[in-house]
Chains A and B, each alone.
Chain A
């Protein structure tokens, strides 16, 4: 699975666990907070991805980035992957 697939899968998983309604269609243009996750769910997503992927790019980055769309979110992970 590529990064995008891993991330979307994790979003759906969290939605199932927390009972959040996640839109059936997740794509790069979907806004993070329109995906069905609330701010707590989003924080949990980042923590779970750290378990799965082994890193948290938001901790790694020097300049803060707050992604608006899922595409931007995935790009943040891609940008910090190689470290």
Chain B
């Protein structure tokens, strides 16, 4: 497995690699920047280093420089809040960090020492540590090596130069890293959308620079279809991931981009990239349960999707293994088979996927219950044709509680104060009582 920068060496020196609204870096430009970071490789040698940058280009160059130098590379997404970043850094044993983020108090910021840098020998296999997202009290850290992370990134067969990938995701997140690795390994260019502009302007940027390959969540694809700008993107490759891809959105993107190869990808930070489905239908063929596609074994265990592959992460960062004794990884996703087709139904732990962002019902319930006029609350997902799901809350008001309209406003306000936007209930229903299911637990099913 070659180091990331070795992938670039097989390209023509002037081949475009990274494109931003301000600049375009060729292969030799990128290699020059990495060469200029020799001091960083030396300072980071064999250490556990965090990369935390708000500029995706900066983040990617740092990753490319540090791979093979640092013992472990912790990738912190740009929008990580400081408290969480500190937690991740401590849990991963991070001692040093680099990037344009404000500060990471528990770690030493790497800076040039002013002395001439010497070449340091490569570390055999830098561990890449990624964070999982979701509103839960303990988001996890997952370790991968580069070989596993890049296993589905196809090497350039000579046509890579004709593709330009658009990156909408943070490259420090699993989904973003997958797109970046595909572009780097595949000999293609990667267009990095400007961060703080509206989605429509990001698409306009992609159209200007000739993006013809795009990976996005079904929610973002629907948004693209409704933006009126789809016709400006001459897409040859359309990838959907991060949420359940329903049949409607698959049909719609294929019809909007008739020249494109459309596929939806099943992947998770823990499982790595599982498999991709390119037959235009939602879910995947039940036949795959018997005949593994793409060297991933798939089975259903008590309604849960379970995978086995060399690509799955070996472990959570704290050493807890993700694999059972026979190497199977439980994905936490519920699936249902009708004999011909297996479809994704939702998360086992009841997490609600709102446009790719996960919400744990208990976190929302806790906030609702903190209001004195709420006797009980249960939160569940409500299906949405546009965002996959929305958060719906059933609330039992306290006895002699006054005007429900006022309570509704108050509840929305405290939710907005304590929860991320996508976790704020879209609907609040006041009910007389909440049904318990047969185990005595609150019944979240519809």
Query: A residues within 8 Å of B by Cβ?
Result: 17-18, 31-33, 39-40, 42-44, 46-48, 51, 56, 58-59, 63-64, 66-68
Stretch in B32-40, B224-232, B337-345 with 4+ CB within 8 Å of A? B224-232
> Is B355's CB under 8 angstroms from A48's CB?
no
> Is A39's CB under 8 angstroms from B355's CB?
yes
Bound Cα distance A64, B220 (Å): 15
Bound Cα distance A48, B426 (Å): 8
Bound Cα distance A43, B228 (Å): 18
Decide: A58 near B427, CB < 8 A? Known: A31-B228, A39-B220, A68-B226.
Answer: no
Bound Cα distance A66, B229 (Å): 12
> Is B355's CB under 8 angstroms from A67's CB?
no
> Is B427's CB under 8 angstroms from A40's CB?
no
Tell whether B444 is near chain A: CB-to-CB under 8 Å: no
> Is B227's CB under 8 angstroms from A33's CB?
yes
> Is A39's CB under 8 angstroms from B219's CB?
yes
Decide: A47 near B427, CB < 8 A? Known: A33-B200, A58-B385, A66-B226.
Answer: yes
Least CB distance from B104 to A in Å reads: 30
Question: B425's closest neighbor in chain A, by CB?
Answer: A44
6 residue pairs of the A-B complex, CB under 8 angstroms, read A18-B416, A33-B226, A40-B355, A46-B384, A46-B386, A64-B248
B383 CB contacts on chain A under 8 angstroms:
59
Least CB distance from A61 to B in Å reads: 8
1/0 per position for B37-49, CB-CB distance to A under 8 A? 0000000000000
7 tightest A-B CB contacts, nearest first: A43-B387, A64-B248, A58-B385, A43-B386, A66-B225, A44-B426, A64-B252
Least CB distance from A13 to B in Å reads: 11
Decide: A43 near B252, CB < 8 A? Known: A33-B226, A51-B427.
Answer: no
Tell whether B317 is near chain A: CB-to-CB under 8 Å: no
B227 CB contacts on chain A under 8 angstroms:
31, 33, 68
Bound Cα distance A47, B116 (Å): 62
Bound Cα distance A74, B200 (Å): 22
Within B374-408, which residues are at the interface with A (CB < 8 Å)? 382-387, 390, 392
> Is A39's CB under 8 angstroms from B387's CB?
yes
Bound Cα distance A18, B426 (Å): 10
> Is A32's CB under 8 angstroms from B355's CB?
no
> Is B384's CB under 8 angstroms from A66's CB?
no
- For B, the interface residue count at a CB cutoff of 8 angstroms equals 30
Tell whether B316 is near chain A: CB-to-CB under 8 Å: no
Q: A33-B223, A43-B219, A59-B385 given; name 15 further pairs at CB < 8 Å.
A: A17-B412, A18-B421, A31-B227, A39-B199, A40-B355, A42-B386, A43-B386, A43-B390, A43-B426, A46-B384, A48-B427, A56-B385, A58-B385, A59-B383, A64-B251
> Is A66's CB under 8 angstroms from B426's CB?
no
Bound Cα distance A83, B27 (Å): 59
Bound Cα distance A18, B227 (Å): 21
> Is B421's CB under 8 angstroms from A67's CB?
no
> Is B355's CB under 8 angstroms from A43's CB?
yes
Bound Cα distance A51, B408 (Å): 15
Least CB distance from A35 to B in Å reads: 11
> Is A47's CB under 8 angstroms from B226's CB?
no
Decide: A33 near B199, CB < 8 A? Known: A43-B386, A43-B390, A64-B251.
Answer: yes
B252 CB contacts on chain A under 8 angstroms:
64, 66
A58 CB contacts on chain B under 8 angstroms:
385-386
Least CB distance from A48 to B in Å reads: 7
Least CB distance from A55 to B in Å reads: 12
Decide: A47 near B426, CB < 8 A? Known: A31-B228, A33-B227, A58-B385.
Answer: yes
A31 CB contacts on chain B under 8 angstroms:
227-228
Question: B385's closest neighbor in chain A, by CB?
Answer: A58
Bound Cα distance A56, B249 (Å): 16
> Is A66's CB under 8 angstroms from B421's CB?
no
Among B249, B382, B383, B387, the one with the most A-chain Cβ atoms within 10 Å of its Cβ is B387
Tell whether B354 is near chain A: CB-to-CB under 8 Å: yes
B347 CB contacts on chain A under 8 angstroms:
none
Decide: A39 near B222, CB < 8 A? Known: A47-B382, A64-B252.
Answer: yes
Bound Cα distance A42, B385 (Å): 11
Tell whether B140 is near chain A: CB-to-CB under 8 Å: no
> Is B228's CB under 8 angstroms from A39's CB?
no
